[in-house]
Amino acid sequence: MKIGFIGLGIMGKPMVNNLIKAGHEVLVYDIVEENVKEVVSYGATAVKSAKEATEESAGIVITMLPNSPHVKQVVCGENGVLEGSKPGTILIDMSSIAPISAQEIEKECHAKGVKMIDAPVSGGEPKAVDGTLTIMVGGEEEVFNEVKEILLCMGGSAVLCGKIGAGNTTKLANQIIVAVNIAAAAEALMLSKKAGVDPQKVFEAIQNGLAGSTVLNAKAPMMIENNIKPGFKIDLHIKDMGNILETGHSVGSPLPLSAAVMEMMQTLHADGLGQADHSAIAKYYEKLTGTTISD
């Protein structure tokens, strides 16, 4: 199938690659020319706008963009998806945005006869590369079933969580758990180091117990090795935490842990670590203690 794909960042590039590996023809657009050239080398075809990507597709277009305003502009703006769409076109927005924004964009799509699902992902770059992302979907079941096979070219699972916006609500819940889990891991490893116990040994001892998790297994080794190469950047998680706090306030859900981790991340951003991996939360504890987790 010929699929339009807009947004070729850390996640988008490997997702396009997996669509190509699955036999799809992918038409790509991004404002960063280097990213376009990279995915063209995988076998994608470059186009000049989101409108063209939509026009030339077989009725399926995917967006993978940083935040709500970017999606609104690419979908609803000049030379956007809606300008290139026809009735029956399906928009799969895989960006992580505010649920209310997904609902607003869907209304614009509906007015043009375009069907939309919101389908944000979890797993970071490693799972984007190996095609095992967790995909959380909001939208109509009929539309979800039409595109589920395409989603599973990029993910290990795709679950319909409810109506439009439910995918992003689920992603926000996911990001709360990830952020607090990373902060807890950093706090625990710093305690170990300050108490004179090797953080590596602590990790090995607890990773298969109740404290073990996918987050711990992925991020504790990075903290111990002082590796802050981004799989998922602090600044992107700050964006998610902002959407979490906005959504929580709008529905009356208390978020004290999320607020605390948001302040840690904002401190790291101010220290110039916004482009570091979110496991760099360990640097917050290192700043407070003057001690490094790594040797």
Q: Does the pLDDT value for residue 206 go beyond 90?
A: yes
Which three-class secondary structure state does DSSP give residue 60? Answer: strand
Burial of 175 (0-12, 13-18, 19+ CB in 10 A): buried
Could you report the per-residue pLDDT of 32-70, keeping only the tens digit for each?
999 999 999 999 999 999 999 999 999 999 999 999 999
Could you report the per-residue pLDDT of 142-182, keeping only the tens digit for each?
999 999 999 999 999 999 999 999 999 999 999 999 999 99
Contact call for residues 58 and 90 (beta carbons, < 8 A): no
Active-site amino acid positions: 171
Q: Does the pLDDT value for residue 231 go beyond 90?
A: no
Closest CA to 64 of 24, 4, 132, 104: 4
Mean pLDDT calculated for residue range 239-264: 96
Nearest-angstrom CA–CA distance, 51 and 63: 12
The one-letter amino acid at 255: L
Nearest-angstrom CA–CA distance, 261 and 267: 10
Two tokens, residue 238: 């700050």
The beta strands (E) that lie in 19-106 are given as 25-29, 45-46, 60-63, 90-93
Spatial neighbors of 193 by CB under 8 A, at least 6 apart, are 199, 291, 292, 293
Q: What angle do CA 258, 259, 263 make, to 5 degrees?
A: 115
Q: What angle do CA 287, 275, 6 make, to 5 degrees?
A: 155
Model confidence at 193, pLDDT cuts 50, 70, 90, reads very high
Q: Does the pLDDT value for residue 19 go beyond 90?
A: yes
Q: What is the pLDDT of residue 41?
A: 98
Phi, psi for residue 11 in degrees, rounded to 5: -85, -40
The one-letter amino acid at 213: S
Domains and CATH numbers, the chain: 2-120 (3.40.50.720), 169-289 (1.10.1040.10)
Q: Quick one: what percent of the chain has pLDDT higher than 70? A: 100
Q: Does the pLDDT value for residue 295 go beyond 90?
A: no
Model confidence at 124, pLDDT cuts 50, 70, 90, reads confident
Mean pLDDT for the chain overall: 97
pTM attached to this predicted model: 0.92
Q: Quick one: what percent of the chain has pLDDT higher than 90? A: 97
Two tokens, residue 155: 């993910």
Contact call for residues 197 and 127 (beta carbons, < 8 A): no
